[in-house]
Amino acid sequence: MKQKLLVLEANEIPLRVVREFASRNPTSTIAGVLNDHTAIETWAADVAEDDLYPSQTWASLNTGKPYEEHRIRWYNDVKQFSDFFWHQIAAKGRPTVLVGTLHSSPLDQYVDDGNYRLVVPDCFASTDETRPHDFEHFQHFNLAVTGENGRKTSMGRTLASAAVALARYPRPSRWGLTTRSVSDISRLTASALANKERLRCAQFPMMAEIFLAGLRREKPDLGVGFTNHVAANMHRYWYALYPDDFETKAYPEKWVKKYQNEIMRAMALLDSWLEKFKRFAIDNDYLLLLTTSMGQKANAKLDPDYVVENAIDYRLDNPLLLLDRLLEGRDASITHETAMVPQYTFAFPTDEQAEAAALRLREYGCTRSQERHGYYLTDEARVTGPKKLKGLVLGVEVVRNKLTLTASVSSDFEDKVMLGDRSFGPRDLGFVEFEVEDHHSGCHSPAGTLLAINDRTGVFDRWKNGQMDYLDFAPAVLDFAA
């Protein structure tokens, strides 16, 4: 491969938001890329639009296989690593660096089968294992923060976790801490007094610095890095950026003014690091691809009634307690694995035990009217059993020995959750109550983004300024690598 390859995965950003940022910031790196390089709209069509989910779309994009073939729905579903383009390249002996890309865990199932120079797996890994091992203290922190800040950021816990973890292993380079990244994190921390959700962006400078340092040190044939920080802001603040997308007024003007710049703030952070990766790519003759797998758009289900009725939400702090209540006792060998709330994945000792548990859980049922918007409970997952379920959203999916629950207190909750003839308060099931100011005004869309920078061989020219089936991405990358 004469020209090497660098992929920056920026989850769920549509071209509309990319162009919005460029129009507001005409001297930005993103504006320059749109003017001088290749911009493509990607399209995710292998599942119904309502069923789009990032763990599914990234699996499709990076394998080139539709969902019906790879069957990866959730983050910890069983996968064939040989299907992923990055493993196919690494398995041919080409030096490879991975930082945070989804489905890069469990590391021990593939790392010895390829030429991996640096791997910090995704933030849903079940262990803190990395290669080399001296990034494991950072990964332990990364996994802990991801688990603590699912639906609502806990500012105190996040800062405390960071301080304790760094004190235990004070090697800044293994935490992605440089003058540049510390400056970004300091600004985010200071501004979090106005909106603590901004702390969701703080992991990105650390991950980006680890990724960039690994690229400079190893000069790999392939580097792949990931960020979710813009997507998190779009889910919360799409209404604030694009209030005219909605037929009814869901939030007051004061709310819009408070949050109208949050998505652009997140894009500015991405832009500042894109400039660094672009400079590295051009100086070292890399093709740089920024890809998003899918995009977001206005959530048509959001309306004023929903905002009022859902001023309170619930976070599941003890998933194993909920499973114990649902199954009326559980095997102690069942373990909980990290996922994106309100999904909770459990690993059973055998495939048969997972399926047997699913059969029991499917005796309970809920309807679409009980669901909370944006929780992506698919028709496949929805359970509509004979027992009357009141007060709980519940979905069940099984892949081999992994059972994934979609679980939340539902909109018909009164004072107890009914599981058949048993009643429980939310805390008795492991839930904690919190107030909500934002309600998933951005939802998943099949229209994503691909920016090709320094594509001097014209690999992506045939899609330039057009649309690309995202299943064509991995084959195009492998053709380039060949």
* CA dist., res. 92 & res. 113, Å (int): 9
Angle between helices 229-241 and 15-24 (to 10 degrees): 70
pLDDT tens-digit map of 200-217: 888 999 999 999 999 999
Please report, for the chain, the start and end positions of each structural domain, with discontinuous segments joined by +. Answer: 4-302+441-481, 312-435
Residue 208 · residue 91 · CB < 8 Å = no
d(CA 28, CA 229): 19
**Residue 211, CA distances (Å) to 120, 225, 298 in order:** 9, 7, 32
Strands 422-424 and 417-419 turn out to be antiparallel
Cα–Cα distance for residue pair 287/10, rounded to 1 Å:
16
Q: Residue 386 — pLDDT band, cuts 50, 70, 90?
A: very low
CATH fold of 4-302+441-481, please? Alkaline Phosphatase, subunit A (3.40.720)
pLDDT of residue 169: 75
pLDDT of res. 221? 98
Where are the strands (E) in 196-262, listed by range? 222-227
Local confidence band at 270 (pLDDT 50, 70, 90 cut-offs): very high
- Tokens at 96, concatenated: 């490879």
What is the chain's mean pLDDT, rounded? Answer: 89
The alpha carbons of the chain give a radius of gyration, in whole angstroms, of 22
Higher pLDDT, 191 or 298: 298
Question: Do 213 and 273 meet the contact criterion of CB atoms below 8 Å apart?
Answer: no
**C-alpha–C-alpha distance, residues 265 and 256, integer Å:** 15
Residues 6+ apart with CB under 8 A from 202: 158, 184, 185, 188, 189
Task: Give me the pLDDT at residue 412, please.
Answer: 60
Alpha-carbon distance of 21 to 43, in angstroms, equals: 21
Q: Which DSSP helix (H) or strand (E) runs through 169? A: none
pLDDT tens-digit series, residues 292-316: 999 999 998 888 887 887 777 788 8
Tokens for 21, please give them: 């940022």
